[in-house]
Structure 1
Amino acid sequence: MAMIEICVEGFGEALTAEKAGADRVELCASLSEGGITPSIAQIRLAKARCSIPVFVIIRPRCGDFLYSDGEFEAVMEDIAAAKAAGADGVVIGFLTAEGRIDIARTKEAVAAARPMGVTCHRAFDMTRDPKEAIDDLIAAGVDRVLSSGQRANAQDGIDTLKAMINRAEGRIIVMVCGDPDPTLLFDGPVNPDAVDFHFGATGYGESPMRFRNPHVFMGKGEDKREYIRRVLDGPAITQRAERLRRLVVS
């Protein structure tokens, strides 16, 4: 069956995702910024309490994927720390200034990560040529690539996603993200060995804080997010996961 991966912020959300039917989680911090490396404590607790695989995003900052030597050094240290904490895989992505996969750094990171699994995250969607990028990731030994077809959502990127799957020829798994809707994505059943699905189902709830200082904000003042909390929508995950799993080859 098609594998369902849920992006989560913290081990508490990882547990919710597992209960809702996730096959795997991508553990992150700061998903409002696209996800950055979570703390070692979050990785350890997720591994201690979840029975499904935990993949850890290794991203030293938000923004682009062209890293300085110092940032890449931190990435390599984080890969080692995630491995030591028992992570099942890491999620990485490195680009050159020209918009190509940085093959040398990717190979180095893959070698350091083994025997963990390795996914390339949506840095892929920022590359200049998806066919070239697929070939580069295969050459670097990456197991799967996360993509919405280089568009804001999977529906708009469907032609590129189909081309990626055909290009991959089973050599790398294409993990579809960007609000995948199984009724719109493909004309017929999908080979479960070629495609995974990745999504989140996030809502927001009010903080239980009763006293609130209206004069101080920890982030940007205009955001005023101190008293809003993420809430993972378990029923929504279950519903979408069931629909996506029907896309299998009999």
Structure 2
Amino acid sequence: MIEICVEGFEEALAAEQAGADRVELCAALSEGGITPSIAQIRLATARCSIPVYVIIRPRGGDFLYTEAEFEAILEDIAAAKTEGADGVVIGFLTEDGRIDIARMKKAVAAARPMGVTCHRAFDMTRDPEEAIDDLIAAGVDRVLSSGQCSNAQDGLGVLKAMIGHADGRIIVMVCGDPDPRLLFDGPVRPDAIDFHFGATGYRESPMRFRNPRVFMGKEQDNREYRRRALDGEAIAARAERLLRLAAS
């Protein structure tokens, strides 16, 4: 399975056309992804023929949430379910870097019958094998990870240990541009691993009039006149490469 992270339903449709098996629907990928609007969820689920998983994350930053934030998360899970999402992507940590099992169990129960993925909050945990066991205990279906490093190559040892420790009890979805041959060099069930990536580019705004004295972000980097553009050709090429390498 190849999952593509997208920002909005238009990118979701482009990812499907490029060969994605599933999309993770987000807003604000510059923040690592936060909960998209109801309209984006509704349009993505209505128009995509592949599964749509919705990230449920009220803000950027850490994964230690207040009670008010967790209440909003449960409401967003309910809304995603109502709009026909196939799954949600969530994650909760304790102050000492463990999976918050109580909250994970409550959120998983709220999500069913949708699928549940734990996002890269996992990569911020203190002990990956402990976290795998905690996610399994909480009933999570899948965990996203680059091996607790910025890329899969640096995190390869942790990823292989995760896959072995999981032993098919939970799907490990690998991100960070892995070489599948390095993950499959042992007795690993191929159906125990999914792949996740994005292919983001930018294009110039079609605006002809531009006010150089005003900017909306915190830095004057001309972002008001740039637009995200999913690179469908890059997605198709990476997906083909992943499948070819896995097959070899």
Percent sequence identity is 83
Aligned-partner Cα distance in 2 for 1:189–1:208: 52
> What is the match of residue 235 of structure 2?
237
Aligned partner (choices 212, 215, 218) of residue 214 of structure 1? 212
Choose 214-223 or 67-76, whichever is displaced more. 214-223
> What is the match of residue 93 of structure 2?
95
Task: Report the CA distance between 1:44 and its aligned residue.
Answer: 0.4
Aligned-partner Cα distance in 2 for 1:201–1:5: 12
Give the gaps of 5 or more residues in structure 2: none
> What is the match of residue 24 of structure 1?
22
Q: Deviations over 1:16-55 (max 9, x none)?
A: 0000000000000000010000000000000111000000
2:26 is the counterpart of 1:36: no
Say what the alpha-carbon RMSD is for the aligned residues. Answer: 1.6
> What is the match of residue 197 of structure 1?
195
User: How many correspondences in the alignment?
Assistant: 248
> What is the match of residue 118 of structure 2?
120
Give the gaps of 5 or more residues in structure 1: none
- What secondary structure, in the 3-state scheme, does the structure 1 residue paired with 2:190 have? coil
> What is the match of residue 7 of structure 1?
5
Structure with larger RCO (C-alpha < 8 A, sep 6+):
1
Q: 1:198 to 1:77 in 2, by over 3 A?
A: same
Task: Report the CA distance between 1:190 and its aligned residue.
Answer: 5.5
TM-score by length of 2: 0.96
**Which ranges of 4 or more aligned residues in structure 1 deviate by more than 3 Å?**
181-190, 246-250
Contact 2:199/2:232 (CA < 8 Å) preserved in 1? yes
Aligned-partner Cα distance in 2 for 1:16–1:180: 23
Aligned-partner Cα distance in 2 for 1:30–1:232: 14
Task: Report the CA distance between 1:249 and its aligned residue.
Answer: 7.2
Q: 1:83 to 1:222 in 2, by over 3 A?
A: same
Q: Deviations over 1:163-205 (max 9, x none)?
A: 0000001010000001234465554796321100000011111
Aligned partner (choices 41, 61, 64) of residue 63 of structure 1? 61
Task: Report the CA distance between 1:218 and its aligned residue.
Answer: 1.3
Aligned partner (choices 116, 127, 130) of residue 129 of structure 1? 127
Query: In the alignment, residue 101 of structure 1 is paired with which amino acid?
Result: I
Task: Report the CA distance between 1:242 and its aligned residue.
Answer: 1.4
Q: 1:127 to 1:52 in 2, by over 3 A?
A: same
Q: As a proportion of its length, which structure holds more helix? A: 2
> What is the match of residue 102 of structure 2?
104
Q: 1:140 to 1:162 in 2, by over 3 A?
A: same
Contact 1:204/1:228 (CA < 8 Å) preserved in 2? yes
